[in-house]
Structure formats: structure tokens, C-alpha cells
Structure 1
């Protein structure tokens, strides 16, 4: 059994962020990164607007395994699936056979797309885009298609809808919510956002669910609640993500919605850490880039011997929908208060105030997005 000082499981943004931060602090510590796929580096957020920006799957990949291994002085093992963690032996086992020991283990496992249990012979052909390989399949399947149905009007669903509509595709978006971005926008802002994307060519079917997907003559029939039906050439699911926790749970590591970690990103098992989409920090699962950046920096310092408590400042999220640019910083659900919504020229400003008049969140649409930094400076930190 070989021994590596730091083993990182996962080659997404979280895995590579902690590796880069480690290298800034220690140029010599041995690092092994295990990847279930090709192991190259790319920016996952680019996938949902690559069509309109003219990017191909090949151009999205910024560094292959050989290049990034040389840049960072690490060993990258592509197409290596970890099947088990032996906490007592400080080792991981592989589906392909063999084991690897570790001094410190970092779980950067990511999350899986949520799939709805929809019946019908066409349901098995629903696509999801969660990585570059998924996106390559999506682009290949998209050739010669005209009408794309999207399940989910959240952030990713709306970004894909805008991207497709901008390239001339007919787009229908289904969601149980009465508005797009239902978890991020108050109703008036949600209506403004919907109107702008509708004008750009996106057709929303809201307050409904797809109950069956049939396939006939190469096309899909999406039967939705109240008896309606939409025909489409492709179905893309963007319902949401579920943290990957099964590997940790099988090893006896505590999991809740995500792999439970403290403010040092330490799991319930000694010398095992977690960050990114798979991790739950004090009840919070934040699947965005800025939380990963802060977590990677803090964890790297902790691993090299300087225990560093994770702090999350206010971290507004940009919604990549050029038809209606948006920046959102939703309030903590536990904060009691109300939204104050104001139209501005070619935009809308929504601010969430608590009962004492303190700002706890905002949603800025259109021209109002220019106020992002000013309002963000007034927000309380997510983790102080």
C-alpha cells in the first residue's frame, strides 16, 4: 500500500481549489488527486452559457491532467473511482481494485442531479448537465434539434433556457413554482424576470408538473398537470442537485443533507475533511463558487498546520441570463422580515429587511445590478 500525505477525492472546482491553495502554502507536500472522470480542469459555471458565448466542449477545458499535474506538482489519477473509505486504516479502496493510504483525506465529491420519477418510455432519455462529459453529450444531442423542454426554472434551468433561446431554439420551461427563480426572488421581481426571458423567447409553464413523457417518431410528448401536452425534440432536467454523501455514510462518517463538517471543515472522522457541493457547514449547503473559494483557502491553512476557522461573508450570486441580468443574495430563511421592491429604469431593486430595519438580502435585476457592491457591504456575514 502506497502512502500519500494528502489525498483529494474529486477533480471539480472544490478539489482543485484546495489543491491550489495548498500549493501556495507548501510546495513540497505530496498530493494525490483522484478523479472519477478525465481529471482535467474547467470552470463548471461556463457550461450553462457556452452556446451564446461561442464555446465548444473542447474549448471549455482549460487544462488537461498532464498540464495541471506539472503546474501544481501533484499526481492526478483520472478514471479512478473510490469505492470505500477505511477510517481505521486511513486508506481508500478503488472500484478497479487496490488501495491508497492517506495522512489527510479531502472529500470534494460534488453533487448529483436530482431526477424526478417520471413515467413513460421517453423518461429514460432525459438529459442532465453536471459536468463536461454531460455537456459534450448535450451538445452532440442538440444537433438538428429545434424545441428543447427544460424541467426546472431555478438558476441553472433559467441560464440554459436563456442560452438556448439566444441561439434561436424554441424553449419550454416547466416548474412547480409560480415563478422562475422561486427560491431567490420575491414575486414582483420574479414576474419582471419572467417577462424579460419571455420576451427573449423562453416559454414558461409554471405551477405545474410533468406527469409523463412519451416518445413517438423521435419526439417527446410531455404531459403535464391539468391535461396539457408539449412536444419537444429534447428534454433537459435542471431540478437541482443532491450532495454526494453515500461514500462517507458507508464509512460511518456523519451525514445530514451533506457530509457534516465543522467550521474547520473537519468531518466526524479524524483527518478527513469535506468541502464544496458535498459538504454541509453548520447546516448550510452552498453550491456556488465563492463558498468554495473561501472553504478551500481555510482548509488548506488547516491542513498545513494553521487551524483556520471558516468564515463566509455575504456572497451575492450572479445569474447568467443576459435577457435579464440578475444578482441575488437571498436572506437566511430564519430571518423574519419583508421584501421592499422598487422598479428602476430598465430594472428592479428588491431588498429584504428584518423587523429592526436591517438589510439581510437583495435581488437586483437589469440595470440595478450595478448596485451589487454597495448593498453587499451592508449585509451580515453568512458565517461570522
Structure 2
């Protein structure tokens, strides 16, 4: 019997496998991964320093343990070089493997900025457990109060800044926007986060970019586009991720910014599904959007597992807030990028130290929200408000 094949052993790939095994105990499962196949929580990478978590402490199961749990064959350290959709085979250096159905859980690659200087290649990124281990080693070499410069004040950059500052490091955060989290959050929330990070000791260099990084003695000299310069021990890039679509493109699947999938998670080639950071999900208005968050992965994995077992199932995305892990100022939001309408305004109020923002479209219809500091009660109340609006066909 030909196996169900999964390329990728991150949260997306392993969750599909787990959900499929709940439905089918016997069909062979074959999982390909370029790393050691250990299971860990990738979202933990950006807030593990303050908790003094070593890389091995973030790993909850080894590949062998996952193989036993899933009754699967896991090929570790195996790079997939191609997919032949006509013969339904996966090509690797160790040989070709047949599949009955295929799931692409390829994840995303860290974006590299074009920065001048003889130390540009020393800029680190943390996109997996191996990256995290390298980053921890560099910090350890620099001492207890390492000078860390972070490029990018988006979600991940802010999370790392808060976490590293809490761990006692000297953090400088650089972003071309005037406020942190500018692409996702309303101004009122971004201002609150700015104040909280500043109070934590994070130096924010906003409205500018890193133009050059050079080795200067035992340090790295970071020069900004505004002419300012300073020294750092470690430079971390957190400017974003780009969906890994190389295999899909080579196999002539339909792609855009990600792999285009329909409401069932199917790609343009029958029998091949995709989910996670590499996928562009179909929205209610027929457009396709990247949704690089945990909740969409879990929802898509359950639906795709059912489809793989013969029960074609729609991916029914429920409203779920994005949680920004910045303990100094925890943010929960459903940004307008998730909404059908992209034209509207934020309306904010401040009550008892809590900022609540609601996003309304041009017809004054509720489309999203943001709240900080949040807790489960306040977050769920806003989710209920938005869900009620959705049920009433307001959105």
C-alpha cells in the first residue's frame, strides 16, 4: 500500500499526522524532514530566554518517539529535492519514494535583508531549534549582559526584545516604522507597547534601518541609515518570514506568496494538500491569505486529516486572536488583515489601564479588535462580540 507522505516535521506536519492517526490506524505514514525530527513548540523560541530554557528543554519528543506514537516512518536529515506529480513520487538523494496522497508542511524561511559591511553574514535569525541553539551559544559567549540588536519590531522582534530584556540583556530594537508592531496593531496599542518596552530597558531606534554592520574589535558595529552607530555583541534579524514554495514551484503547483489551496486545503494538483506557513488559505471573498499562526494550523490539520481519510472536509476557520507574547504588555488582536474589508478605522478607549481598540469598516461594521494588557476574560468578551457580529452577517 502506498503511504500518505508528509514533507515537514513542524507543528503543521506532525499535527496532520496525529489527526490522521485518530481516524486511520493502519495506512502507512511517511514523513520527510530536513532536521532531526524532534517535536518542539516553535512559538516558544521567542520567549524562552527569561525562563532559562535550553534547546533540549524545548524538545518534547525525539523523532523515534514521534515515529512510535504515530506508527510512522520518519526520514530525518533528508532533503527532498523534487516532487514528480505524474508518477506520484518524492525525490531525495537516497532514492525516490511513492505516495498515495501528499501533504506539504514546508514552513517558511527567514527573510535576509541586504545589509552592507563585513559582518553582514554574522546576522543571526531564529526560525528553528538549531537556530535557537546557535543564538544561545552566541549570547553565552558575550556574557550575562550581552548587547543584542534586533532588526524588526514586528511580532517576533517585540517578543524577543521583551524576553531578552527580562533575561538581563541590553536590547536595541530597530524598525523603519514609527512604532513597534505597526503592521498589525492600532496606534494606541503600539504606543502602549512602546512605553512598556522602553520601561523594560529596551532601546527603540524607530524610523530608521540598519544600513551597515562591521566587525570592530570583539564587537559588531551597527550603523543606521540616520547616521547613528553603536556596538553590539549579537545581531538578530526578525524582519519576517517568507513562505517556502520552492518545491511547489518546481512541481508546477499554483503559487503566489504561498502555495495556493482551496477550501479543503487542496493544492492545484489532485491528491496534494498544504498547510501552515507555506500555504495561502482561501478566504470568504475568494482571495487567498497567508495565516502564519497556530490556530489556523490546528484547524487546517483536522480538516485535511479527514480529507486524507476519505471524508472531504472544508477548513472552517474560527475567529481566534493572535497573542503577542510580550509579558510587559501582552497584546491580543484580530487585525484587519484577517477581515474581508481592508478599509476602515480603529477606535480606541482606555479604561482602568487597559486599552481596547475596535476596527470598523467604512460601513461602521466591526471587523477586528486589539486589547492590551489582556486576560482570558477580556479577550473572550471581544471574541464573542466579533463572533456575534459574524453570525448576524455584519461581517
Q: When the two structures are superposed, what TM-score results if normalisation uses the length of structure 2?
A: 0.93
Residue of 332, 335, 342 corresponding to 1:335: 342
Find the partner of 1:24 among 13, 19, 22. 22
The aligned residue for residue 163 of structure 1 is 163
**Cα distance change of structure 1 residues 370 and 217 upon mapping to structure 2, 3 Å threshold:** farther
Q: Report 1:274-293 matches (<5 A).
A: 274-282=274-282, 283-293=288-298
Match of 1:104 in 2: 101
Distance in 2 (CA, whole Å) between partners of 1:41 and 1:189 is 34
Q: Distance in 2 between matches of 1:226 and 1:333?
A: 38
* Mapped partners of 2:187, 2:250: distance in 1: 42
Deviations 1:297-342 (A, max 9, x none): 0000011011001111112011111111111110237333211111
After TM superposition, the structure 1 stretch with the greater mean CA deviation from structure 2, 361-370 or 58-67, is 361-370
* Structure 1 residue 201, shift from structure 2 partner: 1.1
CA distance in 2, matches of 1:293, 1:336: 29
Q: 1:340 to 1:120 in 2, by over 3 A?
A: same
Q: How does 1:307-318 map to 2 (within 5 A)?
A: 307-318=312-323
Which residue is equivalent to 2:147? 147
Does residue 361 of structure 1 match 2:368?
Answer: yes
Do residues 127 (structure 1) and 124 (structure 2) align? yes
**SS of the residue 2:248 aligns to:** helix
Aligned equivalent of 1:272: 272
User: Pairwise CA RMSD of aligned residues?
Assistant: 1.5
Specify the alignment match of 2:180 in structure 1: 180
Structure 1 residues 317 and 80 mapped into 2: Cα distance closer, same or farther (>3 Å)?
same
| Secondary structure in 1 matching 2:91 | strand
Equivalent in the alignment of 1:302: 307
Matched, 1:33 2:38: no
1:369 shift after superposition: 6.3
Deviations, residues 202-248 of structure 1 (Å, cap 9, x unaligned): 11111111111111112111111121112100000000000000111
Query: Could you list the runs of 5+ residues in structure 2 that have no partner in the other structure?
Result: 283-287
Q: Matches of 2:80 and 2:73 in 1, distance apart?
A: 16
Q: 1:89 aligns with which of 87, 90, 97?
A: 87
Alignment pair present for 1:136 and 2:141 = no
Deviates more, 1:230-239 or 1:354-363: 354-363
Q: Matches of residues 246-261 of structure 1 in structure 2 within 5 Å?
A: 246-261=246-261
Aligned to 1:74: 72
How far apart, CA to CA, are the structure 2 residues paired with 1:178 and 1:314? 29
Alignment of 1:229-248 (within 5 A): 229-248=229-248
Tell whether 2:205 aligns with 1:213: no
**Any conservation in 2 of the 1:161–1:171 contact (CA below 8 Å)?**
yes
- For 1:165 and 1:370, the matched residues in 2 are separated by 28
**Equivalent in the alignment of 1:262:** 262
Shift, 1:55, TM fit: 1.5
CA deviations 1:99-151 (Å, max 9, x no partner) are 00000011000000001011111110100000001001110111142100000
SS at match of 1:4: coil
- The answer to whether structure 1 residue 326 and structure 2 residue 326 are counterparts is no
Closer, same or farther: CA 25–326 of 1 in aligned 2, 3 Å: same
Q: Distance in 1 between matches of 2:226 and 2:191?
A: 22
The structural deviation recorded for 1:372 is: 0.6
Contact 1:326 / 1:369 at 8 angstroms: preserved in 2?
no
CA contact (8 A) 2:341 2:361 kept: no
**Distance in 2 separating the partners of 1:11 and 1:185:** 31
Asked whether the 8 Å contact 1:17–1:296 carries over to 2, the reply is yes
Residue 98 of structure 1: how far off its partner (Å): 0.7
Contact 2:90/2:97 (8 A) holds in 1: yes
CA distance in 2, matches of 1:335, 1:152: 23
SS at match of 2:301: helix
Structure 2 residue 347 is matched with structure 1 residue 349: no
Aligned residues between the structures: 380
Q: CA separation in 2, counterparts of 1:249 and 1:29?
A: 28
**Unmatched tracts of structure 1, length 5 or more:** none
